[in-house]
Structure 1
Amino acid sequence: MKVAVTGGTGFVGGKLVDALLKRGDEVWIISRTPGRLSNESKNLRRVTWNELEASPGLLGNLDAIVNLAGESINQRWTEDAKVRILQSRLDATEHIERIIAKMEKKPDVVINASGISIYGTSQEAVFDENSPPDVTDFLSGVVEKWEEAADRIDVPRLVKLRVGIVLGRKGGAFPLMAMPYRFFVGGKVGSGKQWLSWIHIEDMTRLLLFCLDDPNISGPVNAAAPEPVTNDAFGRVLGAALRRPHWFPVPAVMLNILFGELSLLLLEGQRALPRKALSHGFEFRYPTISSAMKDLVGRG
């Protein structure tokens, strides 16, 4: 399979590129700036948006595009940051739309990253891929606009992968989430009742490959483990795995002062289930937070 990946040097993208190469696929990383990759080879190449806009034939006989590009949301949401967060996602998706429109042979599938934030937040509701969007805050609005842009891409199959919190040892949110516990000051955040829909990085990578390979999967797909947990439950399992106490609660007002509007990510959540992935036969290697934590921390 010949696959183009945007965001291919990031936390999730890097793992996907490694997995694709390991199984013998040809991978093209699409980036904003020119330059060679340190491990560039006949199976791994780099191309810029400008090069593709000028010569879409560079990706001749392309089978798939995976779009993981977008500025990190893990920063204070100033007005300038909000513009960058939204525009970076729209720009990459619109680039893909224009490039595919110029291609003589279109790829069979585009997987466009999205987010479970599109469902809004709730402590009681359970969301799956049939749940309607609920745009109540900045992040849910970003995801809605992102998916609207993806819907304009003209390909036989479009997958909108609605990603939860991706947990990995050396990237994403987990190292920061674990840090207070390593210093013996871990505890619930806010009420602790807010839901955390998460997925282990290994399952995230496997689900991306699964969606690439299964021609029957299209539309929204929740990339989240089948057993979401509350913030309090997550902290208890993390503390136990690290052999640290779970005792030092972080008041909501402190997070608001420290992080501003970004604190919504920690104080509110949603319980999203991967019904479509499960119905198509995907098997999670880490379905529970306990199994994931044993791997992430290295002990139970």
Structure 2
Amino acid sequence: MRVLVGGGTGFIGTALTQLLKARGHEVTLVSRKPGAGRITWDELATSGLPRCDAAVNLAGENILNPLRRWNEAFQKEVLSSRLETTQMLARAIAKAPQSPQVWVLVTGVAYYQPSLTAEYDEDSPGGDFDFFSNLVTKWEAAARLPGDSTRQVVVRSGILAHALEASHVQGVLNGVSPASSTTNAEFARALGAALGRPALIPLPSTVVQAVFGRERAVMLLEGQKVVPRRTLAAGYQYSFPELAAALKEVIA
């Protein structure tokens, strides 16, 4: 297929692009910056939708950017960056002589295990959680966030590819693994075991609140418990449904 990916230069978009190309699909990115294999959002608005069989929108301001204060202006920016890009794509699809067969929209706020991955940040594939991952790679210990009740979920690019390729998939799918209910304490122990090192460095909640503010800190300190019932029912096959096996693969 010819796939158009809005916000495709971020962490999830980069992984999705690599996966789609490996499966033989042709990918065009929509980004703020021009480049090879890309169009800009301005070009999309003025020239219309390029010919494509499927469209995905991953775009949106990084809600967990530690360099931005969580004030009213930034909250509006987070919201508008998602709404405006979605509206722009919707208008382009509506005006296109031949609409794509599939449109996948990633909505809401995704929570991640910070020591392995990152919140979406366009044009910065590594995201904003290098600090947390460095606790593992530089100090050789498994960093964990405080609170055994904390739960984080990981968005899988494979689920997005499945939604694009399987014609029977419709509606809302939770982009998480079956092990998404793992607490951070359990996650830290499993990561420490995969590294062959103990989980020695708890991160105080006061540090998280100081960096992100109380409202955003809740996303990291409490998280959400999400079960991918419809994703499994749609026939998606997880490569690593269990946490231990997934961590060993990532570390390797």
TM-score in same-fold range (> 0.5): yes
Report whether the alignment pairs 1:46 with 2:38.
yes
Query: TM-score if structure 1 supplies the norm length?
Result: 0.71
* Structure 2 unmatched ranges of 5 or more: 119-124
Determine the structure 2 residue equivalent to 1:220: 172
Determine the structure 1 residue equivalent to 2:25: 25
Report whether the alignment pairs 1:4 with 2:4.
yes
| Alpha-carbon distance, 1:96 to partner | 0.8
Alpha-carbon separation, structure 2, partners of 1:82 and 1:107: 32
Determine the structure 2 residue equivalent to 1:254: 207
| Alpha-carbon distance, 1:66 to partner | 0.6
Is the deviation greater in 268-277 or in 69-78? 69-78
Which 4+ stretches in 1 moved above 6 angstroms? none
Quick one: which amino acid aligns to residue 93 of structure 2? I
User: Larger % of strand: which?
Assistant: 1
| Alpha-carbon distance, 1:111 to partner | 0.6
Alpha-carbon separation, structure 2, partners of 1:176 and 1:289: 22
Query: TM-score if structure 2 supplies the norm length?
Result: 0.83
1:1-300 correspondence to structure 2 within 5 Å: 1-33=1-33, 35-37=34-36, 45-56=37-48, 59-60=50-51, 62-76=52-66, 77-79=69-71, 80-115=73-108, 117=109, 163-165=110-112, 167-168=116-117, 171-172=126-127, 176-182=131-137, 183=139, 186=142, 188-199=144-155, 204-228=156-180, 229-261=182-214, 262-298=216-252
Q: 1:49 to 1:171 in 2, by over 3 A?
A: closer
Q: Deviations over 1:61-114 (max 9, x none)?
A: x21111011122232442233222222111110101111121122211111112
Tell whether the 8 Å contact from 1:181 to 1:246 is kept in structure 2 after alignment. Answer: no
Q: 1:95 to 1:237 in 2, by over 3 A?
A: same
Quick one: which amino acid aligns to residue 207 of structure 1? I
Percent identical pairs in the alignment equals 34
Alpha-carbon separation, structure 2, partners of 1:36 and 1:19: 20
Quick one: which amino acid aligns to residue 52 of structure 1? L
Give the count of matched residue pairs. 238
